Structure 1
Amino acid sequence: MSSAIMSSPGTIEHRRPRLARRGLVAVVLALGLFAAGCGADGDDDTASAPAATAAPVATSAPDTSPSPAGADSEGVDSEGAPEPTQPESETGEPIRVGSLLDETGPLNIYGTPMADATRLAVASINAAGGVLGRQLELVALDSKSDQNEYIAGADRLVAEDLAVVHAGITSASREAIRPTFGEAELLYFYNVLYEGGVCERNTFVTGVVPTQQLQVLIPWAVENYGPRLYVLAADYNYGQISADWVRRYAAEAGGEIVGEDFFPLDVAEFGTTISEVQRAAPDAVVSILVGGAHMSFYSQYAATGAEIPIVSTTFGLGSEQVALDAASSEGIIVAYPYFEEIDTPANAEFTAAWHEAYGGDYPYITDLAVYVWEGWHLWAAAVNAAGTLDREAVIAQLQSGNVSFDSPKGTVALDGPSHHLVQPVSLARANADNGFDVIETFANIPPSFEQESCDLIANPGTNEQFTP
């Protein structure tokens, strides 16, 4: 089933069949250049400017691609939606847009499907008529799983004539580039699950936050496995702040944290930690591990014969359930808004378009890929509704409360004051077939912490990250 192979320790290499149907000539070119880039050495520590792909995407795309407008032709709810303003005069020239993702290196387990989602979203938007009647031209940079490359890439993107940038994977990368885009007044979308709390007028987030994910996952773990939890987390802001949220939700559910360990992203040996977990004898392990190196925890854990169940905020985001054998992954419980197995007409349409573009043997369409898909379509819908690329007008539209999208996981709506999504979250169990069995779905969960702490309509000058 899998077309993912381990090209180096902790790195998944995805084979990319070409977009070869219905004349997607320019998309073939863009993806061909992208695939060639994935063969590069991901361990380059230099700070040279990332390589770029800047090619207009063809106007024809798989007919199954959903419209960028989502629920209606304007991309806004039909009830109470403002009439779009008169569009800017069409020049016939493409609208240049940017992407900055880890397409190579250890974090490409996340970046590969996100980059694929970017290219498919741009093709979908162009096939539906583009934005303001103009085609999108994508400038895609590879940050190579290197923080210095992120900084250089952000500087390069702000020097381009771009309307929007969708960029960043880890929270550390986001915080390295977010100030650059804010100072340049270049609209920024962060399409990733994260620890929550970012509040800035120029930044919009489509990823799930702890008050949506962990408030579902941790109470379930306490109720079904028991109150004693042991936390293993990545040692940077995502892992540290997420661990704070685990403590909070465990306490609210009547649980307790009996141990915590934090690991740099390059750590790949977990023998000592696994022994400590076994000595503590928790009822469940909470994994907040990140990246290709950390993936080795699951196989090492299974090799010890440990039977303590695992719940995770990150397992599967890098198709770990495909790269690992069933003994290392089966039974792990996760909570995300999207799973490829979700049975909805919108998801059937989306997965058909995806597999037509990238081949039927694509490893797995991840939750992260769908955040990217949503981010691009929400931005396109807001621009079309605003009738202009003017940043202030687009922000006003995104904050209006009228922007929603019929996503593969269900309808998502942008909460204007907080710049985060109201979205569904599903609990699921990793199975032996490289996928997940959905246990239960919770609809329309708001980003409650962000709503409580962040009101960018009332306080547009706010620029900070709130923490629990």
Structure 2
Amino acid sequence: MLTSDPQQGASNYSPPAGRSIWLSHASDPGVLLQGIIMMNISRRNLIKTGAVGVLAAGVSPMLSATSVFAQGETVAVGSLHDLTGGTDVYGVPSHACMKMAIAEINAAGGLLGKQIELKTYDGQSDIKKFPQYAQQAALQDKVVMLQGAITGASREATRPVLRRYKVPFVYGTIYEGGLCETNAISVNTGSDQQAIPLLDWSFKNLGKKVFYIGADYNAPRNIGIWTNHLANQNGGTVVGEEYYPLDVTDFSTAIAKIQAAKPDYVHSCLVGGPHMAFYRQWAAAGMLKKIPIVSVVFGGGNEHMVLTPEETDGIIVAYNYFEEIDTPANRDFLARADKTMGASRPYINGIAIGGYTGPMIWAEAVKRAGSFDYAALMDALKTDIEWAGPSGKMVLEAKTRSTIQDMHIMQVENRKWKLLETQSQVRPFDFGGACDLLANPRNTEILVPKV
């Protein structure tokens, strides 16, 4: 059975009897944001992009780009985010946070005596652009690190290119979990790091009967597996489970099924603009104040600011970061963000914050290595790296290249998040020891839950 470490607020697991939930290897996994039909939220013109055409230079794929970085006073890193197109609502604030991090590193004297030059590429919400720009970044611009790729599809198009040219890849968004590769540094959370604390709390505080509703693609189905598993662990029951295509806008049948099942709460993994209709229809049916909703994805697109308080008040979520975290470190971070990005900046949520934490954690690894050289950096990553930021203490775990960090369970109230509970230092799930990059550094697969 799975066991929880109460001192860590974490999840150190062994398989439940008679049921395996890991060791399924996926070459084309889904992700929390993949395939989402996006909401119409203004980008506020935060950035101007510097994307240019691709140069496929004749450089040996065995040559590390980081071994031929500029010998002058600057060194280049790359930002490959969606600055236009359907997923720019995530890419624009993530890129803005990355720009802020690089500016702060430079203002503090740079890194190893060099100023960081940020090369910006716009993925344009087009999967084909990502391998092209990754190759340009490695071969033409000779970046020593590249961060970005919001969706699972863009991530999977990007990381083989960077692995080939030995350019460290920092992945800064929330995702389905299971990324296990020495060249890929995940500074945000897998869905398990959100779902386990949130559902453990929900079964304890809201009741034992849950109804799960999600979008019909891989990641929400994976989270459905977690929901069933955690129900078993907490003596609970999943009284209903429904999946809907991303373009569905009529949820009257779903609401009727939930009403008939009479759950203590609903776990929602509905995503994207059309699926916001569920929350409107749920409130219109008078259900918002009768049956609570919890979610690991609500708020990722700032839905709590798009919908009205009458449609959202009381929804409970779990993320590693909220602007409402009331600590001196976060208040200082937000003051700097206001100064750097301007008063019209977007709300910085648990997705966007990865744009800031990624360069900072990478910089700690470079300092430890004492070099931008690829081999030296990979050697430095063989031990845990600790850094404290606006969301608290973060530890990049050597064996998984994923991040241990605090998780905050929050409830929306009048378009603001109110803290219910913080679970400290939640560990990334290691799939029963299957993700151990110290023992198996050649692994490049994605591990996903499997019944």
User: Smaller-chain TM-score range?
Assistant: 0.7 to 0.9
Tell me which residue corresponds to 1:70.
none
Q: Deviation per CA, 1:436-458: give whole Å up to 9, x if none.
A: 00111111222243573211112
Residue 306 of structure 2: which of 312, 315, 323 is its match? 323
Structure 1 residues 369-384: aligned runs within 5 Å: 369-384=352-367
User: Which residue of 2 is the match for residue 144 of structure 1?
Assistant: 124
> In 2, distance between residues paired with 1:268 and 1:452?
41
Which whole-Å CA distance do the structure 2 matches of 1:370 and 1:193 have between them? 10
The corresponding residue for 1:215 is 196
1:356 aligned residue (329, 339, 342): 339
- 1:33 aligned to which of 21, 24, 48: 48
Q: For 1:159 and 1:293, locate their aligned partners in 2 and report how far apart those are by CA, in whole Å.
A: 40
* AA of the residue aligned to 1:464: E
Q: Residues of 2 paired with 1:281 and 1:264: CA distance?
A: 24
Distance in structure 1 (CA, Å) of the matches to 2:243 and 2:300: 19
Q: Distance in 1 between matches of 2:314 and 2:407?
A: 18
Change (3 A) 1:89 1:243: closer
Asked if structure 2 preserves the Cα contact closer than 8 Å seen for 1:322 and 1:364, the reply is no
Residue equivalent to 2:57: none
2-side partners of 1:317 and 1:459: how far apart? 33
Change in CA separation of 1:450 and 1:129 when aligned onto 2, cut-off 3 Å: farther
- Give yes or no for contact 2:222–2:448 (8 Å, CA) kept in 1: yes
Question: Which residue of the other structure, out of 97, 101, 104, is the alignment partner of 1:117?
Answer: 97
Deviates more, 1:283-292 or 1:374-383: 283-292
Q: How is 1:41-80 mapped onto 2 (pairs within 5 angstroms)? A: none
Work out which of the residue numbers 391, 397, 401 in structure 2 matches 1:415: 397
1:267-301 CA-partner distances (Å, limit 9, x unpaired): 44434433333333322221222333433332232
Per the alignment, residue 33 of structure 2 pairs with none
8 Å CA contact 2:73, 2:113 repeated in 1: no
Aligned residue in 1 for 2:40: 11
Say whether the 8 Å CA contact 1:418–1:451 is kept in structure 2: no
Aligned to 1:234: 215
The verdict on how the C-alpha distance between 1:203 and 1:9 changes in structure 2, with shifts beyond 3 A counting, is closer
The equivalent position to 2:413 in structure 1, one of 392, 417, 431, is 431
Letter in 2 for 1:163: V
Give the corresponding residue for 2:6: none
| 8 A Cα contact 2:39 2:301, kept in partner | no
Where 1:14 maps in the other structure, the secondary structure is coil
1:388 paired to 2:371 = yes
CA shift in 2, pair 1:395/1:226, >3 Å: same
In the alignment, is residue 178 of structure 1 matched against residue 193 of structure 2?
A: no
Which residue pairs with 2:269 in the alignment? 288
- Compute the displacement of 1:162 (Å): 1.2
Q: Cα deviations across residues 67-101 of structure 1 (Å, max 9, x unaligned)?
A: xxxxxxxxxxxxxxxxxxxxx99943421111222
Conserved? CA contact 1:347–1:409, under 8 Å:
yes
CA distance in 2, matches of 1:451, 1:405: 26
Further displaced range: 194-203 or 89-98: 89-98
Matched-pair contact (CA < 8 Å) for 2:121–2:133: yes
> In the TM superposition, what whole-angstrom CA distance separates every residue of 1:97-120 from its partner, at most 9, and x where no partner exists?
112222233322322221111111
Which sections of structure 1, spanning at least 5 residues, go unmatched? 1-7, 17-30, 38-49, 53-87
CA distance in 2, matches of 1:102, 1:278: 39
Instruction: Give the match's secondary structure for 2:268.
Output: strand
Which segment is superposed worse, 140-149 or 437-446? 140-149
Q: Does structure 1 retain, via aligned residues, the 8 Å contact 2:399–2:437? A: yes
Q: Structure 2: which amino acid aligns with 1:253? A: N
Q: Determine helix, strand or coil for the equivalent of 1:207.
A: coil
CA gap of 1:268–1:283, structure 2 versus 1, over 3 A, is same
Give the alignment's Cα RMSD to 1 decimal: 2.6
Report matched runs for 1:129-278 at 5 Å. 129-160=109-140, 161-278=142-259
The answer to whether the 8 Å contact 2:38/2:89 transfers is no
SS in 2 for 1:437: strand
How far off is 1:51 after superposition?
A: 5.4
Q: Is contact 2:200–2:230 with CA below 8 Å preserved after alignment? A: yes
Cα deviation 1:221-259 (Å, max 9, x = unaligned): 222222222222233332222222122112111122222
Q: Equivalent residue for 1:45?
A: none
1:94 counterpart residue number: 74
- Measured after TM superposition, the shift of residue 424 of structure 1 is 0.7
Kindly state the Cα deviation for residue 133 of structure 1 after the two structures are TM-superposed: 1.4
Matching residue of 1:447 = 428
C-alpha contact 2:240 2:261 (8 A) present in aligned 1: yes
Secondary structure of the 1:291 match is coil
User: Measured at CA, do residues 221 and 194 of structure 1 come closer, stay the same or move farther in structure 2, by a change above 3 Å?
Assistant: same
How far apart in 1 are the matches of 2:126 and 2:282? 28
Mark the CA change 1:32 to 1:449 in structure 2 (over 3 Å): closer, same or farther. Answer: closer
Shift of 1:378: 0.8
Amino acid at match of 2:41: I
Q: CA deviation at 1:145?
A: 2.6
What residue number does 1:339 align with? 322
What fraction of aligned residue pairs are identical, expressed as a percent? Answer: 38
CA distance in structure 2 between the partners assigned to 1:51 and 1:277 by the alignment? 50
From the superposition, tell whether residues 190 and 391 of structure 1 become closer, same or farther in structure 2 (CA, over 3 Å).
same
Q: State the one-letter code of the partner of 1:219.
A: D
**Structure 1 residues 155 and 274: CA distance shift in structure 2, 3 A:** farther
Normalised by the size of structure 2, how large is the TM-score? 0.81
In structure 1, what is the equivalent of residue 388 of structure 2?
Answer: 406
1:210 and 1:245 in contact (8 A); partners too: no
Query: Structure 2 vs 1, CA of residues 287 and 192 (structure 1 numbering), >3 Å: closer, same or farther?
Result: same
**Structure 2: runs of 5+ lacking an equivalent:** 1-36, 54-67
Give distance in 2, aligned partners of 1:153 and 1:247.
Answer: 40
User: Do the aligned partners of 2:91 and 2:150 also contact (CA within 8 Å) in 1?
Assistant: yes
Match in the other structure for 2:61:
none
1:313 paired residue among 296, 315, 334: 296
Corresponding letter in the other structure for 1:327: E
